[in-house]
Amino acid sequence: MPRLKCGVKTCVFYRERHCTRENIVVKGSTALAEEETKCQSFSREVPDNRDDRYKMEIGSIGEINYHMPVYCEAVNCKFNTHRVCRAKEIKIDGSRALHSDQTFCSSFAIK
Ligand code: SF4
Ligand code: SF4
């Protein structure tokens, strides 16, 4: 699973250039360039902590996860194998994003 860095400071999961989630989902099934991908896990709001999904997704609240599974639909990326990212390291970007559409995987590389 990749080492993940993130530059999306507006995301509630962001901390010190990294992500605190247990995993992320990247979208972009027809993407041919990095701008056409997005981090679907981006959120501006803390999820409802009564929700079981919250505990599954977040794990240790606030702690950076340096490596995590990245489930990615960008099948045109050379690092994508069966919708899982096999890159050693990736970077999610979109520093002023207010919506997941304004984020992207800057490590996308066409097959
Ligand atoms: S934009 Fe994605 S990778 Fe970055 S902190 Fe948010 S959920 Fe994590
Ligand atoms: S590097 Fe490629 S396979 Fe990995 S998350 Fe980014 S777009 Fe998906």
- pLDDT tens figures, 43-93: 987 666 555 565 555 555 578 999 999 999 999 999 999 999 999 999 999
pLDDT tens-place string over residues 34-45 = 999 999 999 987
pTM over 0.85: yes
Alpha carbon distance 97, 69 (integer Å):
22
pLDDT at position 47 is: 62
Give the ligand at the shortest distance from the Cα of 98: 1
CA 4 to ligand 1: nearest atom: 3
CA 7 to ligand 1: nearest atom: 4
Domain limits of the chain? 3-105
Give the ligand at the shortest distance from the Cα of 108: 2
> 26 C-alpha to center of ligand 1: Å?
10
